Chains A and B, each alone.
Chain A
Amino acid sequence: MPNLQAEVLVIGGGATGTGVAWDAALRGFDVVLVDRADLAEGTSGRFHGLLHSGGRYVVKDPVAAAECVAENAILRRVIPDCIEDTGGLFVTTPDDDPAYGDRFLAACQDCELPAEEIEVSEALGREPRLNPGIRRAFTVPDASIDAWKTVWALARGASAHGARVLPYHRVIDLHRDGDAVTGARLRNELTGEELDIEAGFTLNASGAWAAQIARMAGIEGVDVVPGKGIMIAMNHRLVNTVINRCTMPADGDILVPIRTVSVIGTTDIRAADPDELPVTQDEVDQMLDDGERLVPGFREARALRVWAGVRPLFQDARVGEVKDTRDVSRTHAVVDHLARDGVEGLLTMSGGKLTTLRLMAQDIVDAMCAQLETDRPCRTAEVSPPIDENEEPYRLGARLRRREETLQEEQLICECELIGRRKLEEAMRRRGTANLDDIRRTLRLGMGPCQGGFCIYRATGILHGVGDLDGAEAGASLRNFLQERWKGVWPILYGDQLRQARLDDWIFQGLLDVEHLPDGEARPA
């Protein structure tokens, strides 16, 4: 059995885990990061893209709000290429109590959040699609942040400082040696091979799955309340500013312009299992109604895709049953297993949000340093992870400008998201993947209006060549992509998207007849 050794094992490759790996690697630790699947495939890949100004929490959760205010500014400084400064608006819709706006403003002041009331006419001038019936409007420094760019930037940064980043490596057991956690057993999900890793310290950054991981070390009662929320991406930017409902946090009260889409979110329903996140029709209807409240005509606009994410809300089992997941604080906590359970060498991060990823990483790595009695200061508030020259900064028009430059030289493979052939081939080679879904996550392949109708056959053919797959594997990858895509599409299949689906059915089933591809072994994905 092959062995790995590291000073620090980080479990979880989302924003938290990669943030932790980056922080620890910057402090000179030798880090291995593992995730059972692709990076950012958990909660980070499924949120709405909002870099919180904190406005949403000022009244109800001022601790979380203050964290957001500070971290928002820091992230804009250290990872500016992952962030689009859309600005944000809090608006009082006809269904909201106008007096709340005063509480809101006061609470913003208390948290030092720079919010400002503006004329409704100015807000409507900025955002013509907004509900003309809004009664008050406030600006806040919300922004949209690209989770995949962020996660990969942090992972690359960690690698540049010597960390080993291992997606598709599932933790199947943690090693206990008496009262210490000494490492883990991993399974490479692509090859089936098992390997052991010896690690001086293990940081459990697995978010909604934290309890499952802790249990492998024999630790019970780390109760993560999985708070499921659904989000719907609308086909184009109905708004260019983040729109929040100015009211106590409710469902469907955020509309985020991110990349080429606008995302309405979200619900808040306790889920039993973080891997079982069904999207219900009621939730979809509710999101559409909520969207209609913010943007009249929302129901006639085109819904592109729906998905569910799960928030890792920590509720210490010994404190009491949680009733409404909206009441659970959105701040985070380091679970110190030495103090709580008498187990050393393991810390669990619980709670939190993507906006505070850096602070969460700082807190858990600080706690680890304290336990190790070593004094290594955190530098992530000053140092930026290295920029990938091949990636363009996160601006909506960046791909359009880039394509304009290569118009006469390069084939466009994914037309909706403006992905050229060279870029696609590079990504395939770099990832060494046989899975089109992995490419989808990093490049947004097939994430546009046609949902892969035109690009996926092309990408399959290219993958077959570049990835050195055989036809069976290529076909399996194609089928897998279609099934994964379908999951996010069928609950919102009406109107324009139904037309698209029919055309795509025509292409994949009528024209290409994917259904009758001869069976073959797919590479595990």
Chain B
Amino acid sequence: MSHHDVVVIGAGLAGLTAAVRLAEGGARVLVLAKGVGATHLSAGTIDVLGYAPERVENPGEALSRLGDGHPYGLVGTGAVAASLEWLKARVAAGSLAPYAYEGGLEENLLLPTALGVPRPSAVVPETMAGGDLRRRAPVLVVGFRAFKDFHPALLADTLRRTGTPARAAELDLVPEGRADVNSLGFARAFDDPSFRAEVGAQLIGRLRADERVAFPAVLGIADPHGAWSELERRLAHPVFEVPTLPPSVPGMRLFAILREALRRAGGRMILNSVVTGAEREGGRVGALRVRVGLREERRGCDWVVLATGGFASGGLELDSRWTARETALGLPVAGVPAPGEERFRAGYFEEHPIARAGVAVGSDLRPEGHENVLVAGATLAGAEPWREKSGDGISLATGHRAAELVLDGVRQPAAAGS
């Protein structure tokens, strides 16, 4: 049986953060994941706290007011701040350097969504920061007819209605000669200097004096800093990218950076690996069971970080009889209404009773009765990330904190009943 210091279950932002921090801290880490995590689906920004329930201007302050029913309340503002600084440093020194993230806990930027709605975001890629709507500089929104996931006229319309002058343009460039190009296809095109030159040629002379130029978030996958900064130079105007539907290129960049960081630090990752159970002795998990074909493999570990992504990825499951379970280790799920009770309300945008369900943990991220299991990310109870705009922040902060807690424990063998 293989043995690792820590097995991290899940390869999303929470899992990868924990794994990289652990590997860089000297632990022997194995990541087991059913598949690639939700980084590919996210905006690529770190949204810490956007609405609580009013729009948040100072996320650090707002999250300090959350009780310990909320993951932020559990780990504390300091841990959140530390995780943000850690990520910024990781990206700056990572495989896409000098691509970098900027921002912090003191203030939220307001970045436009692909619909043009101002969305609060704390830490964002440099390629997006220029879109901060707190500044009222006018925007030229540039899309591509061949890119169906971005609609500049609609975006510009909403910007105007929210107080930012804006207009739209649609370019006819078709990368790779395809009829239907996805964001990755465009990102590869933007990695190509001759494509950038084409884009520049079509826009120069059309820009007004104080305009900044918005593109969909496709400004390069192999060298986003190069692509973006060169565009800015060519156009001689500020340029920023706007996240849109998956596949998310900025999300993929983040995944690539963390994946490479894990590799460099000696961590291992196995995909298509579904943890079906654990071997326990008292409150300790000694090994995880994984099924491949007809055989069940056992993976020994001293610590487990469970970062399986909640209901969205099957880390938590609700069956047709309305009972919920946590699918890897069978941990109890809190906050699920009983089978006869209301789970969802009739209005789509209302808060639904089941929204904050998840695994309940203490401030050390361990569920009751478990000595060496920590839970991070969307599997945790107490948050409603899509309404609060807090998903990335929670994953990052709890993943980072889980790693730090384990590293403390690894240095001193876990005391019984701690």
Contacts and interface: CB of A to CB of B under 8 A. Distances in A.
Interface of A: 281, 285, 288, 299-300, 303, 407-413, 421, 454, 457-458, 460-462, 464-465, 470-472, 474-475, 478, 482-483, 485-487, 490, 493-495, 498-499, 502-503, 505-507, 509-518, 520
A445 to B, nearest CB: 14
A499 B312 CA distance: 4
B153 A464 contact: yes
14 contacts: A457-B149, A471-B157, A474-B157, A478-B115, A483-B347, A502-B386, A506-B41, A510-B389, A510-B391, A511-B245, A512-B117, A513-B113, A513-B117, A514-B117
A486 B314 CA distance: 21
Contacts of B118: 516
Query: Which of B41, B154, B313, B389 counts the most chain A CB atoms within 10 A?
Result: B154
Interface string B148-169: 1111011001101110000000
Contacts of B172: none
B148 A421 contact: yes
Given A471-B116, A498-B318, 19 more contacts: A457-B114, A457-B115, A461-B150, A461-B153, A464-B154, A474-B157, A482-B348, A494-B320, A494-B322, A499-B311, A499-B313, A499-B314, A502-B311, A503-B312, A506-B38, A506-B385, A507-B245, A512-B113, A518-B162
A511 B346 contact: no
Which 9 residue pairs across A and B have the least CB separation, nearest first?
Answer: A461-B151, A471-B157, A486-B348, A502-B312, A510-B386, A490-B344, A299-B320, A509-B386, A513-B117
Interface size class of B (residues with CB under 8 A): 35 or more
A99 B153 CA distance: 66
A511 B112 CA distance: 10
B31 interface: no
Contacts of A490: 343-346
Given A458-B149, A505-B386, A515-B387, A411 B319 contact: no
A458 B320 contact: no
A518 B41 contact: no
A495 B319 contact: yes
Contacts of B343: 490, 493
Contact of A471 (B161, B244, B389): B161
Nearest to A500: B312
A506 B391 contact: yes
B161 A520 contact: yes
A411 B311 CA distance: 31
Nearest to A496: B314
A410 to B, nearest CB: 6
A465 B151 contact: yes
A517 B154 CA distance: 12
B386 A470 contact: no
A412 B322 contact: no
Nearest to A470: B157
A500 to B, nearest CB: 9
Contacts of A285: 321
A454 to B, nearest CB: 6
Contacts of A505: 386
Nearest to B341: A281
B52 to A, nearest CB: 14
A506 B322 CA distance: 22
B180 interface: yes
Nearest to A511: B43
A295 to B, nearest CB: 13
A411 B180 contact: yes
Interface in B72-126: 113-119
Contacts of B320: 288, 299-300, 303, 494-495
Contacts of B157: 464, 470-471, 474
B306 to A, nearest CB: 18
A412 B149 CA distance: 11
A420 B85 CA distance: 45
Contact of A494 (B149, B161, B318): B318
A478 B146 CA distance: 22
A138 to B, nearest CB: 30
A68 to B, nearest CB: 33
B317 interface: yes
B119 to A, nearest CB: 5
Given A411-B180, A498-B318, A518 B151 contact: no
Contacts of B119: 513, 516
Secondary structure type dominating chain B contacts: loop
B382 interface: no
A300 B311 CA distance: 16
B151 A462 contact: yes
A410 B41 contact: no
B415 interface: no
Contacts of A460: 151, 154
Interface string B29-69: 00000000010011100010000000000000000000000
Interface string B310-345: 111110011111100000000000000000100111
Contacts of A421: 148
A517 B312 contact: no
Nearest to B317: A495
Contacts of A454: 245-246
A502 B314 CA distance: 11
Contacts of A472: 161
Nearest to A493: B344
Given A299-B320, A499-B312, A506 B386 contact: yes
Contacts of B387: 509, 515
A512 B146 CA distance: 20
B243 interface: yes
A483 to B, nearest CB: 5
Contacts of A464: 151, 153-154, 157
Contacts of A513: 113, 115, 117, 119, 389
A160 to B, nearest CB: 34
Contacts of B314: 499
Interface string B238-259: 0000011110000000000000
A157 B263 CA distance: 66
Contacts of A412: 180
A475 B115 contact: yes
A354 B112 CA distance: 48
Nearest to B147: A411
A498 B245 contact: no
Nearest to A516: B117
B377 to A, nearest CB: 13
B214 to A, nearest CB: 15
B179 interface: yes
B158 A471 contact: yes
B53 to A, nearest CB: 11
Nearest to A278: B346
Nearest to B146: A411
A518 B322 contact: no
Contact of A410 (B158, B179, B346, B386): B179
Contacts of A470: 157
A233 to B, nearest CB: 15
A510 B385 contact: yes
B68 to A, nearest CB: 24
B158 A518 contact: yes
A505 B162 CA distance: 23
A460 B244 CA distance: 14
Interface in B1-45: 38, 41-43
A483 B348 contact: yes
> Could you say which of A410, A461, A474, A475 has the most chain B C-beta atoms within 10 Å of its C-beta?
A461
B86 to A, nearest CB: 23
Contacts of A409: 179
A512 B322 contact: no
Contacts of B161: 471-472, 518, 520
Contacts of A487: 346
B181 to A, nearest CB: 9
Given A408-B179, A498-B318, A513-B117, A506 B312 contact: yes
A303 B157 CA distance: 37
Contact of B148 (A413, A486, A520): A413
